[in-house]
């Protein structure tokens, strides 16, 4: 089952896909264009994000070898933005790129989970676009807060897909288009550290809670963006997440 969270007529609703648009939890059917899409997870906990979790992306960024241990950093909930949202590009940035990522949503408390049992703790999956701003990077093993924790710099959604409906999360195609042109293609099967490994690894030293998110990294194919670009990050079977990037002047000008 796929579920979204949307704002409509001043209230927030859970919604499901419908031939005519979206079916709200109260039974009404509305057009997708009439709602504001919200992050599909209502109560987000800790947000974990993986760096360099695809060998081809590590090579793309001029690393001679991939990490031997997961490179994990944390993100604040302020970073999340819904489907169809607009993300700001700071005035002093010219090296901003997308990152299409499979995102794991934890469904129950997990502590010292064995790899073989890891999927039992997953509620579902969604799509994230974890933008990076390379001008602000201190070094790849200590990401600067300004690189990955900017307000609205991590679109997520549009759907939360139940884990039971994803037969093999480690064999899903990923694709990004910029203004309709395919710029990134990959597969989750190429992750260095797969989903069961990451759940075992993280829960070995800290407790995972319902609503925690794990953004699992991105394959090669990232390109720098321009103001006005429309980016669609898609994971097979989970949906296509659309976002627009606007430079500060364009963003605030449009808002006025």
- Is residue 91 located within the same domain as residue 10? no
CATH number of domain containing 14: 2.30.30.370
Average the pLDDT over each of 67-71, 113-117, 185-189, 205-209 and give the range with the smallest value: 67-71
Is 70 exceeded by the pLDDT of residue 256? Answer: no
Is 80 exceeded by the pLDDT of residue 20? Answer: yes
Is 90 exceeded by the pLDDT of residue 65? Answer: no
- For the chain, how many structural domains are there in total? 2
Looking at residue 24, what is its pLDDT? 98
Question: Which residues span the domain enclosing 163?
Answer: 41-255
- Is residue 118 located within the same domain as residue 238? yes
- Is residue 123 located within the same domain as residue 248? yes
Name residues whose C-beta falls within 8 Å of residue 241's C-beta, 6 or more positions apart in sequence: 83, 127, 128, 129, 155, 156, 157, 158, 232, 233, 234
- Looking at per-residue pLDDT, the higher value among 32 and 141 belongs to 32
Longest CA–CA span in the chain (Å) reads 54
227 vs 31: CA distance, rounded Å: 28
- Is residue 208 located within the same domain as residue 173? yes
Is 80 exceeded by the pLDDT of residue 210? Answer: yes
- Is residue 15 located within the same domain as residue 138? no
Query: What is the mean pLDDT of the segment spanning 67-87?
Result: 93
- Is residue 34 located within the same domain as residue 103? no
- Is residue 50 located within the same domain as residue 173? yes
- The DSSP letter of residue 202 is H
Distances (CA, A) of 109 to 73, 120, 210, 248: 20, 11, 6, 40
Please report which confidence band the pLDDT of residue 56 belongs to, taking 50, 70 and 90 as the band edges: low
- Is residue 87 located within the same domain as residue 153? yes
Strands (E), 19-153: 21-24, 29-30, 36-38, 47-51, 71-75, 80-81, 85-89, 96-97, 100-106, 122-129, 132-133
CATH number of domain containing 201: 3.90.850.10
- Is residue 26 located within the same domain as residue 115? no
- The DSSP letter of residue 139 is B
Tokens 């288009």 — which residue? 177
Residue from 153, 145, 143, 126 nearest 212 by CA: 126
Rounded to two decimals, what is the model's pTM?
Answer: 0.93
| Cis amide bond preceding 234, omega within 30 | no
Pairing state of beta strands 173-178 and 181-187?
Answer: antiparallel
């Amino acid at each position: 089952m796929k579920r979204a969270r949307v704002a409509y007529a001043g209230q927030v609703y859970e919604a499901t896909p419908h031939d005519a648009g979206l079916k709200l939890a109260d039974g009404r059917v509305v057009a997708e264009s009439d709602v504001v899409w919200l992050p599909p997870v209502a109560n987000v906990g800790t947000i974990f994000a993986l760096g360099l979790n695809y060998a081809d992306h590590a090579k793309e960024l001029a690393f001679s070898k991939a990490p031997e241990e997961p490179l994990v950093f944390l993100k604040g909930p302020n970073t999340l933005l819904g489907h169809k949202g607009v993300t700001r590009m700071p005035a002093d940035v010219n090296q901003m790129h997308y990152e299409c990522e499979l995102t794991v949503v934890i469904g129950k408390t997990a502590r010292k989970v064995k790899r073989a049992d890891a999927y039992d703790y997953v509620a579902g999956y969604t799509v994230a676009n974890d933008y990076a701003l390379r001008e602000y990077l201190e070094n790849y093993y200590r990401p600067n807060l300004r690189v990955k924790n900017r307000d609205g710099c991590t679109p997520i959604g549009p759907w939360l897909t139940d884990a039971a409906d994803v037969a093999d999360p480690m064999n899903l195609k990923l694709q990004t288009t910029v203004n309709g042109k395919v710029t990134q293609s990959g597969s989750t099967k190429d992750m260095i550290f797969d989903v069961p490994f990451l759940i075992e690894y993280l829960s070995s030293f800290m407790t995972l809670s319902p609503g925690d998110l794990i953004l699992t990294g991105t394959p090669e194919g990232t390109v720098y963006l321009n103001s006005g670009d429309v980016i669609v990050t898609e994971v097979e079977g989970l949906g296509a997440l659309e976002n627009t990037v606007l430079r500060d002047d364009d963003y605030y000008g449009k808002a006025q």
